Amino acid sequence: MRKVQKINSIIFCFLMLLISFNANSQLATTGSETVANTTIASNQQHPAIGIDSSGTYILVWESQGQDDDDDEDTYDGYGIYRVSYNSDGTVAKSETLVNSTEEDQRFPDVAMNASGEAVVVWQSYDQDGDNWGIYRRKINSNFSNSSNQSKVNSTVTGRQSMPKVGIDDDFNYIIVWESEGDIYGRLYGDGGGTSISEFQINTTTSNVQNYPDVAMNEDGTFVVVWQSYDQDGDGFGIYHQRYNASGVAQGSETLVNTTTSKQQTTPSIDMDSTGNYIITWTDNNADGSAEGIFGQLYNADGTTNGNEFQINTTTSNSQDNAKVAMSVNGGFSVVWNSYAQDGENMGVYNQSYYSDGTISGAEIQVNTTTNYFQQFPAIALWHEEEAVIVWQDGQIDSTNSLDTDGYGVVFQQYNAAALPVELLYFYAEKQNENVRLDWQTATEINNSHFDVEWSTDGISFEKIGQVQGAGSTNSIRFYDFLHTSPALGFNYYRLKQVDFDGKYEYSDILNIEFQTRNIEYRIFPNPASSFITIENLQADEVIQIFSVNGQFVEEHQSPINNLSITHLPKGTYFIKIGNTVKRILIQ
C-alpha cells in the first residue's frame, strides 16, 4: 500500500508523481547470470556475499575435493574459495583458496566493510581437536589473503558450527555460531587484532537454540538472531538480542514472530546506517500453503516498526531459506527458494521494499536457468542502486547444470533503476457526477498499459479500467479516463504502470470527495506517543486502525474521543473513519 496523499493542485501533483515513478523500484537485471566458480569438478555450493561502498563485492563458497592434494584419501573434503568482482561485474581477483588446512571446511560466510576489507568465517572438521570448530581469515582491500587462518572458538568440546559474521566500517567484527544447542559469539576489534572472550548469547538454554545470524551497524552495535525450540510455546520460534559496540547486551532476548503456531525457522537479519533492522524467517503454515517467508521491521532501540508481514506473493508449495539485505538508507530486499514456481524444482525469487516497509514492485524470478535446483540464495545491496544475488545451481552428479558438473555457484547483478516511464503529472477533477483522471508522460520505454485502480478507503483497490500505453517514445503523451460511478464520500485513485514483461509500479494516490455531510475529522497530536484525540466524531461511528502494510490492527466505536495507543508498536498507521483515512505516526 502506498501513502495516501491529498492533492490540492496540479503543481503539487506534478512534483509528487514525478518522484513516485522514478523512485527505487523492483530490481532489474544487469547483464546475464554468470557462473562464479572456475573449477567445475564435483560440487561448489553454499555461497555467501559481501559488498563495499564502491560496489566491489566478494563471493565465497565451499568446493568439494579442490584443496585436497592427498590422493590416498577416499573422501574428498570441502575447502573454502572466493572470487572478487568490480562493481561492473568484471573479475578483480580470480578464484582463490581461503583456508590453509585441508580435511573439511564447510558453510562459509563473509562480511565486507565500506573500505573493501573482508573477513571470511567457516567451520572446520577436527582442526580444533574435537569435531567441528570455527575459523576466520581476513581478506585485504587489495584482494590478498592476510596471514594464516585462526581459530575463533575457545571451547572445543563437541560441535561448533554454522558461523555468521557482521562488520563495521572500522573493521571491528562479530562472529556468532551454534555450540551444542546454544548460541555463542566473539567480538573482534582493531582489524581483528584484539578480541573479547567468547560469550553465550541466548539466555534461555532449555531445548535447542541454533541457526544464528548477525548484523553490525557502522558504529559497531550489533544484533543477533536465532531459532529456539519450544520457547514460544509451539515448535521453533525466532528470538533476537541487541548489543552495544563493547559487546554488552542491551535489554533481554526478545521473541520476533507474532504468529507462534507451529514452526518459525531459518532467520536472517540486516541493518541500515542508523541501526534500524529487518528480520526475516520461514513460517511453515502462516501463508496457507506449506512454508512462507515473513518479516518484521525494528527501530534502532529494539522496538517494532509495524507488524510482522508476509513477503512471498506466490503461496503454492514451499518458500523457504530466505536471506535479507538492507541498504544504508533503510530500503531492503529479500531472496528465497520457491518450489516449482519456475516450472522445475527449486527457483530463486526476490521482493524489494522501501524503507517504510511498503512493497517496491512485484516479486521477481531471479534465475534464468531453471534446470534442476536453484537454491540457498544470498544477496548484497550497494546503497539502493545496485544489488548482487548469488545462489547454488544444479544437482549432484549432473552434467546439465550451468557449470556442467554437479552444483555450481551462479550470480546475477541488478540495478534498482526506476521503471521506464517518466510521469509528469496525474490529476483528478469532478465532472458533474463523474471523476475525470488526466495524466501525462514525458518518456516511455516498453510501456504496455496503465491499469486505473479505485478505492473507497485508500487501502483496498480494484481495477476499474485499462488505458493502452505508447510502448517506447520520447514524445510527451496525454492520457485520460472517466470514472462514471464514484461513491459518496472519498474516492481514491492510483495508476498501475505495467511493462510488456509484466513489471509494474504504482503512482501516488489521489483523492476526491463527493460529500454527504460536511464533517472534517481532526486527529492530534501527530506524531503521538501515548494517546490520540479525535474531534468531530458522530454517534456510533467506527474507528479502524491499519498498519502501514494495510493489515487490520484494531477497531473502536464512538463515543470515544481520547484513544490510548501505548500498546501499539512504534511506526506509521492509518486511521479510517467512514470514508476518511488519516495517517498518524506513533513514536
pLDDT score for 31: 83
CATH code of residue 468: 2.60.40.10
Domain shared by 473 and 568, yes or no: no
Q: H-helix or E-strand containing 17?
A: helix 10-21
Whether residues 182 and 51 fall in one domain = yes
Same domain? 424 vs 411: no
Strands (E), 331-433: 332-339, 346-353, 359-365, 373-382, 386-394, 408-415, 421-431
Query: Domain residues for 452?
Result: 10-21+420-514
Predicted local confidence at residue 420, as pLDDT: 59
pLDDT of residue 72: 53
Q: How many CB atoms lie within 10 A of CB 228?
A: 25
Whole-number pLDDT of residue 75: 57
Same domain, 449 and 546: no
The answer as to whether 325 is a domain residue is yes
Classify residue 233 by burial, with Cβ atoms within 10 Å: 0-12, 13-18, 19+. exposed
Phi first, then psi, for residue 12 (nearest 5°) are -65, -40
- Please work out, in degrees rounded to the nearest 5, the angle formed at the alpha carbon of residue 162 by the alpha carbons of 156 and 368: 155
The answer to whether residue 5 is domain-embedded is no
Q: Do residue 572 and residue 442 come from a single domain?
A: no
Which of 415, 432, 447 is the last residue before a domain boundary?
415
What does the pLDDT look like over 24-69, one tens digit per residue? 455 677 788 999 999 999 999 999 999 999 999 999 999 999 987 5
DSSP 59-113: EEEEEESTT---TT-SS--EEEEEEEE-TTS-EEEEEEE--SS-S-EEEEEEEE-
In a domain, 2, yes or no: no
Do 528 and 471 belong to one domain?
no
* Helix, strand, or coil (residue 221): coil
Residue at 1 is within a domain: no
Q: Does residue 3 form part of some domain?
A: no
pLDDT attached to residue 519: 65
Same domain, 281 and 394: yes
Beta-strand (E) ranges in 383-516? Answer: 386-394, 408-415, 421-431, 434-455, 462-473, 477-483, 489-499, 504-506, 510-514
User: Are both 443 and 391 inside the same structural domain?
Assistant: no
CA 459 to the chain's CA centroid: 23
Same domain, 89 and 161: yes
Q: Is 516 helix (H, G, I), strand (E, B) or coil?
A: coil
First to last CA, the chain: 21
**Domain boundary at 493, 514, 535, which?**
514
Instruction: Count Cβ atoms below 10 Å from residue 239 Cβ, excluding itself.
Output: 27
Residues of the chain predicted below pLDDT 70: 1-27, 69-76, 384-385, 416-420, 515-519, 548-549, 579
pTM: 0.71
Note the pLDDT of residue 18: 34
C-alpha cell belonging to residue 455: 478505492
Q: What is the CATH number of the domain that holds 411?
A: 2.120.10.10
- Establish if 564 belongs to a structural domain: yes
Condensed to tens digits (0 to 9), the pLDDT of residues 505-542 reads: 888 889 888 765 556 778 889 889 888 998 888 777 88
End residue of a domain, out of 497, 514, 531? 514
Residue 230: the pLDDT is 95
Kindly give the pairing relationship between strand 199-200 and strand 182-189: antiparallel
Quote the pLDDT of residue 70.
Answer: 55
Do both 290 and 225 map to the same domain?
yes
Residue 46 counted as domain residue: yes
Q: Are 170 and 255 in a shared domain?
A: yes
Torsions phi, psi for 286 (to 5 deg)? -70, -20
What pLDDT, on a 0 to 100 scale, did the predictor assign at position 8?
A: 29
The number of folded domains in the chain is 3
Q: Is 4 inside a domain boundary?
A: no
Same domain, 483 and 334: no
